Amino acid sequence: MTSTTRRKFLTLAGAALAGAGVAGCSMIGGDDTSRASGPAKIDRPLDKTRTLVTYFSMPETDAPDNMTEDEENSTHVVDGKVLGNTQYVAQIIEKRTEGDVFRIETAEALPLDHGTLEDLALQQQESNERPKLKALIPNLQEYDTVFIGYPIWWYDLPMPVYTFLEQHDFSGKNIILFSTHGGNRLGETVEAITEKLPDSTVISNAFTISRDDMDNAESEVSDWLDSLG
């Protein structure tokens, strides 16, 4: 990570990177590889001073030892620090682009127990709930390109990500998507986000990686970033 003298590091309420981050868990199986139509590349090189990496992540523990299988599925350990899978991908993108970072978090803490979290995620989806967020991006107007990262939950975006999309104005911005999954790949999330952001350019070349392939994430993310042009 570059120093804060080179760029601002944005967080929600100052949350540490190893906090409630990313679950790469797909809350039900499946293997949908569909993609939305749209440009596959950005139309100009990324400007690191005008690039923002945002992500929602929900690791189910912050303890690196004696994890349950569910906890291992939702996390990736780097130098003894527990990161969520999507959180780890976001850090790789941050390092490569030297962009700023904003973490999407709910105002009310989410449960760490896998079964409880799974049930809550399904309940929120079935009721089309929009969980309140801890904070919004304070200076979105400063950015041209916004990466948005998320795990796949019940074949879809986590509902807090819908809140995030609806409570910001992304008009005129390049939107680049990345996700982690446990079998669903992207599902129909690229289409969903494209529909939510009609005044933005949502790049169709979204990135997704299985929770089982996180050891290869750095090289796969680098190859994907290179493909964006």
H helical segments located in 43-129:
69-73, 85-97, 114-126
Q: Judge whether 167 lies within some domain.
A: yes
Identify whether 206 is part of a domain.
yes
**Domain total for the chain?**
1
What pLDDT is attached to residue 7?
Answer: 35
**pLDDT for the residue numbered 17:** 29
> What pLDDT does 92 receive?
96
The answer to whether the predicted template modeling score (pTM) of the entire model surpasses 0.75 is yes
Series of mean pLDDT values for 10-residue runs along the chain (229 residues): 34 30 41 58 80 95 90 88 94 95 97 94 98 97 97 96 98 97 88 97 95 94 93
How confident is the model at residue 37, as a pLDDT?
59
Domain annotation covers residue 65: yes
What is the residue range of 173's domain? 48-227
Integer Cα distance of 32 and 167 in angstroms: 28
In-domain check, residue 2: no
Q: What residues does 86 pair with on adjacent strands? A: none
What letter would DSSP give residue 48?
G
The answer as to whether 184 is a domain residue is: yes
In a domain, 42, yes or no: no
**CATH number of the domain residue 108 falls in:** 3.40.50.360
Q: Does residue 10 lie in a domain region?
A: no
Please give the torsion angle defined by the CA atoms of residues 146, 168, 210 and 106, in that order, rounded to the nearest 10 degrees: 130
